[in-house]
Amino acid sequence: MEEVLIFLINNFPGLAIILDDEYRIQRGNKQSYDLYKKVKGETVDPHQLRNQDLSNFHPLGKVIGLKALSTGKPNYGYIEYNWGNMQKNILYCDIPAKLKDGSQGVVVLNFDFPKPIKDLKGIVDAFYQNYDIYFSQLEISLFDTKGKVLYVNKAVLDNAGLENDDELLGENLFKSEKSYISKENGNSILGDFISKGDFLHTKLYISKESKINNGCQSRVLEVICFPIEIESHLLGSICIGMNLGQISKYSNQVKQFERLENIREMAFRVIHEIRNPLQEILAVAELGKIKSNQDEIESYFEHIKSGISWINDLLNDIVQISDPSSLSLEEVELDIVCQEILDDISKNYKDICWEFSIESMKTVLDKDLFKEIIIHLVDNAIDALANKAEEKKITINSSLQGGDILFSIYNSGNKIPERIQDSIFDPFTSTKGNNGTGLGLTVVYYIITKVYQGDIWFESNDDGTTFFFKIKRYTEKVKVPSINNTDYKGIK
């Protein structure tokens, strides 16, 4: 249950917080932290917000979540109020929840819209205009009281294997649908609750045959569905779905970040202490090689230099993680930047068949960090082909998907061993055996997920391996987190 709550809070496209029974904040998402900074005019460590009374910065104070906390039942509705110089138009849902320590708490979810909502059309228009809702990892849908689909976001389309919402809008997905738990009358449980205007929190099984799945793999969703009521009129329902398989992946990413933070702490403390004696050893080895008149002794000094060079490469990789700086953003032509990088690499590997298909488009990114990503992934692909007897092939593609750019880098080498697939982005896990530092993919993972706020994954089988990564087309100007500047991860 805790993993579900964390996924819900951190990915909700609006204010999302967990309060304990004394109205103290136990966890919140980025929007809650940003609101605090905006209202209080001060920057604090997000972890310092834990156990703070919500009324310290929110004008509604203990009104929020009060009914849900006192009755133990969900509370939902629509409210308009002023918060300083901000006009708030909020569709809200407060859900009772058991906290980690077993005490009672409440999950507060607020959809915030720029204009007052008067009717169902206004809600639909507001959803379509809200990019945070559309790009949320939560599957968000809007239904009228008859169960007809009025809106679905990108997560619904992606998980259903659909390119657009044409096949879903206006459809009643609950009448006689085999993909949902059904009652005797043929209506699904979800459909019944929507038509009655009731709250529902349950798990739903979506089969491959369902229209909402379009032949994709079956999946299980944790679903929260609450009615939309404005001025005592029931207009429809909002459904929030959480793919349990995706939650498991998200939980692994959180653990991945924690391991990265441990590496950063270690690096920050010891890296400079290591480099000074290494430089002295390197200087002595160079001097010994010059002074020596015997080939055998010279080879010993060469081995020392080679070992120090390997350690230095390791330290350089750690520096990438431990001591980042501000993004240096510029607008570039993606195909030109990629072609420059790939031409420089491919000219040294004539035995490899190279195929590039990079879309021509303008994008905003940090050129040096982007180059680091491509070089590491391409070097990895080249190493995978080292012992390949048949045709060696590397294919690199890019495509625009909404506001994101998706890249794929394929190599025809051997399958990545099963024993390291789950830990491939972990520090010191190497696909190159003893020839790598085991930090190249960790560096790539860190840059893509933490700096660019993107995603990276791979597919590997007997036909080869493809690494995919996705970043925003227009990267925002943000400060890259450093050891001395605790970055936001949600209130813990």
CATH number of the domain that residue 90 is part of:
3.30.450.20
Q: Are 469 and 492 in contact (CB under 8 A)?
A: no
Instruction: Report yes or no on 367 lying in a domain.
Output: yes
Instruction: Report yes or no on 271 lying in a domain.
Output: no
Q: Are 370 and 331 in contact (CB under 8 A)?
A: no
- Per-residue pLDDT, averaged over 372-398, amounts to 89
pLDDT tens across 239-290, in order? Answer: 998 887 766 665 565 565 565 556 555 565 566 566 666 777 777 777 777 7
- Judge whether residue 404 has pLDDT over 60: yes
- Per-residue pLDDT, averaged over 384-391, amounts to 84
Burial (CB count <10 Å: 0-12, 13-18, 19+), residue 488: middle
Instruction: Report yes or no on 408 lying in a domain.
Output: yes
Residue ending a domain, among 63, 81, 113, is 113
Give the pLDDT of residue 330: 87
446-452 long-range contacts, CB within 8 A, separation 24+: 446/260, 446/320, 446/321, 447/320, 447/369, 447/372, 447/373, 448/373, 449/253, 449/256, 449/257, 450/257, 450/260, 450/480, 450/481, 450/487, 451/324, 451/327, 451/366, 451/369, 451/480, 452/365, 452/369
Give the pLDDT of residue 489: 31
Lowest mean pLDDT, pick from 235-239, 252-256, 347-351: 252-256
330 or 323, higher pLDDT: 330
Instruction: Report yes or no on 126 lying in a domain.
Output: no
- Per-residue pLDDT, averaged over 196-217, amounts to 69
- Report the relative pairing of strands 86-98 and 455-461 from DSSP bridges: unpaired
pLDDT tens across 439-451, in order? Answer: 778 878 888 887 7
312 or 141, higher pLDDT: 141
Give the pLDDT of residue 397: 93
Beta bridge partners of 14: none
318 or 244, higher pLDDT: 244
- Judge whether residue 211 has pLDDT over 60: no
- DSSP for 249-298 reads HHHHHHHHHHHHHHHHHHHHHHHHHHHHHHHHHHHHHHHHHHH---HHHH
Which of 231-235, 280-284, 285-289, 428-432 has the highest mean predicted lDDT (pLDDT)? 231-235
Percentage above 70 pLDDT, the chain:
73
CATH number of the domain to which 469 belongs:
3.30.565.10
| 72-to-93, 101, 293 alpha-carbon distances in Å | 13, 17, 85
Percentage above 90 pLDDT, the chain:
23
| 305-to-277, 284, 291, 300 alpha-carbon distances in Å | 13, 10, 15, 9
Residue ending a domain, among 93, 113, 133, is 113
- Judge whether residue 492 has pLDDT over 50: no
* Ramachandran sector of residue 472 (left: φ over 0; alpha: ψ -120 to 50; beta: rest): beta
Give the pLDDT of residue 256: 59
Q: What is the mean pLDDT of the chain?
A: 78
Instruction: Report yes or no on 81 lying in a domain.
Output: yes
3-state secondary structure of 454: coil
Instruction: Report yes or no on 218 lying in a domain.
Output: no
Total domain count for the chain?
2
251 or 302, higher pLDDT: 302
pTM confidence score: 0.56
Give the pLDDT of residue 174: 62
- Judge whether residue 145 has pLDDT over 70: yes
3-state secondary structure of 486: coil
Give the pLDDT of residue 432: 60
Choose among 307, 283, 287, 309: nearest CA to 297.
287
- Per-residue pLDDT, averaged over 309-314, amounts to 68
pLDDT tens across 59-104, in order? Answer: 776 677 788 888 889 999 999 988 777 888 999 999 998 887 788 8
Instruction: Report yes or no on 454 lying in a domain.
Output: yes
Burial (CB count <10 Å: 0-12, 13-18, 19+), residue 479: exposed
Contacts of 301 (CB under 8 A, 6+ apart): 285, 286, 288, 289, 292
| Domain hosting residue 45, numbered range | 1-113
67, two tokens? 């009914």
Residue ending a domain, among 87, 113, 139, is 113
pLDDT tens across 20-36, in order? Answer: 888 888 888 878 877 77
Give the pLDDT of residue 490: 30
Instruction: Report yes or no on 127 lying in a domain.
Output: no
